[in-house]
Amino acid sequence: MAALDGLPPLRDVIARHGLDARKALGQNFLLDLNLTQKVARTAGSLEGVTVFEVGPGPGGLTRAILALGAKKVVAVERDSRCLPALAEIAGHYPGRLDVIEGDALKTDFAALVPAEEPVKIIANLPYNVGTQLLIDWLLPGRWPPFWQSLTLMFQKEVGQRIVAREDDDHYGRLGVLCGWRTDAHMAFDIPPQAFTPPPKVTSTVVHLVPRPSPLPCDAGKLERVTHAAFGQRRKMLRQSLKPLGGEALLLKADIDPARRAETLSVEEFVRLANLL
């Protein structure tokens, strides 16, 4: 991509700006520009789209998104050391890259663009905040949400939890929430050696598209039910859901109290939540 966008190779950018990846910030920089383009392409057409990115670091994925035609990228970066490198990209794409220095967990993404603006979120999420950011994007008060799709990189184990369904060892609270409000699939894996420094685990790219009309349910109640059920996942539901009504609640929902959490479908969890 250096030839495509005329910007220096990422290794040169990192060396020039002294951008050693910091474990405390969950940083692992993806330097293979062919892979960053593959991640960006997974989101589909970016023409006329505003893309939110979290933790752009030296900007490899940012460059891919811009080169593939995004109208604008709004990047939220906590590490001030990365700002000069991102400023160079902004200079190369005038008016198409806005960098916000701050904490993504405290950022109101929906407020950053007009309501009618098409938005996609594409990010190599920092390992230490990725799951919480996903949950925040899944549970806004308004649905359909402000975003058209999420294309996110996680540790593979987290990706497996996102797409898992009942009777899968990876199935849990995250799988229920994602299955309730989105269609999610794992697009492809990325090996550790593609990153600097290499993490100890394989990463995976997950693509999520919002369901236009998910089953009616209060998100807070669904979280309560899944928290109780999977908090003691090896116990029968009559025991794990005892604080919420136990056997009486389950019988009212027409669910066998002897079943365990990992056997319930998303629809059954929604039914329980709606009876709280």
Lowest mean pLDDT among 41-50, 104-113, 121-130, 228-237: 121-130
> So what's the pLDDT on residue 28?
80
Please check whether residue 189 is in contact with residue 204, taking contact to mean a CB–CB distance below 8 angstroms. Answer: yes
From the options 3.40.50.150, 2.40.160.40, 1.10.287.110, 3.40.920.10, give the CATH code of 2-210.
3.40.50.150
pLDDT of 50 higher than 50: yes
pLDDT of 110 higher than 70: yes
Lowest mean pLDDT among 54-63, 105-114, 125-134, 168-177: 125-134
Residue 96 neighbours by CB under 8 Å, 6+ apart: 66, 70, 71, 72, 73, 90
Type of residue found at 136: D
d(CA 137, CA 61): 20
pLDDT of 76 higher than 80: yes
pLDDT of 4 higher than 70: no
d(CA 150, CA 214): 17
> So what's the pLDDT on residue 2?
46
- Average pLDDT of the segment spanning 87-101: 97
Length of the chain equals 276
- In 49-157, the DSSP E strands lie at 50-54, 72-77, 97-101, 119-124, 149-155
- State the DSSP code for 70: B
Residue span(s) of the chain under CATH 3.40.50.150 come to: 2-210
d(CA 44, CA 193): 26
pLDDT of 259 higher than 80: yes
pLDDT of 182 higher than 80: yes
> So what's the pLDDT on residue 11?
87
What is the average pLDDT score of the chain? 93
> So what's the pLDDT on residue 17?
84
In the block, tokens 């950053």 appear at: 112
d(CA 143, CA 147): 10
- Average pLDDT of the segment spanning 1-27: 77
d(CA 190, CA 227): 31
Closest CA to 189 of 180, 199, 197: 199
Residue span(s) of the chain under CATH 1.10.8.100 come to: 219-275
Closest CA to 30 of 99, 127, 138, 96: 127
- Average pLDDT of the segment spanning 228-244: 95
Homologous superfamily of domain range 219-275: rRNA adenine dimethylase, C-terminal domain (1.10.8.100)
- Average pLDDT of the segment spanning 123-137: 91
Does the global pTM surpass 0.85?
yes
> So what's the pLDDT on residue 35?
94
> So what's the pLDDT on residue 158?
96
